[in-house]
Amino acid sequence: MQIVKRMAPAAVLLATVFLLTACPSQTTISKINADPGRYRGKEVGIVGRVTDSYGVLGNGAYEIDDGTGRIWVATRRGVPSRGSQVGVKGRVLNGFQWGGRSFGTVLEETGRTSKQR
């Protein structure tokens, strides 16, 4: 029992460090748009409101506004409804095209949490 009590704080610390290093850094859309080359290929997290969306057969793209700017997010799991508050993590891509439309700098979604309005 003594060993368990001694090991518990170390285990919690180790788990916390592991989880924090696995999380993408949260940034603002204005920072991504101002210097897209710095973020190209990197995983980031953003939080904002969905302002526009297009979906086809479970794939699609939606635009997020975080109050500092707007960015399109490409997804393979359906689009959230307009007005939804979402947290998105994904890789930054440049020169993205979908459905014959060019979206410039986009986030390729790898995870999402949402809160309906």
Interval 21-55: pLDDT, tens: 455 688 999 999 999 999 999 999 999 999 999 88
The reported pLDDT for the residue numbered 23 is 57
Residues 59-72 pLDDT 10s: 899 999 999 999 99
The per-residue pLDDT of the chain, averaged, comes to 81
Percentage, residues of the chain above pLDDT 90: 56
One-letter amino acid at 90 equals: G
Q: Tell me the CATH number of domain 25-115, given options 1.10.10.10, 3.40.50.1820, 3.30.70.141, 2.40.50.140.
A: 2.40.50.140
One-letter amino acid at 60 equals: G
C-alpha distance from residue 70 to each of 4, 29, 52, 64, 108 (Å): 49, 6, 10, 5, 14
Confidence of residue 15 (pLDDT cuts 50, 70, 90): very low
Please, are residues 23 and 45 in contact by the beta-carbon 8 Å criterion? yes
Radius of gyration (Cα) for the chain, nearest Å? 18
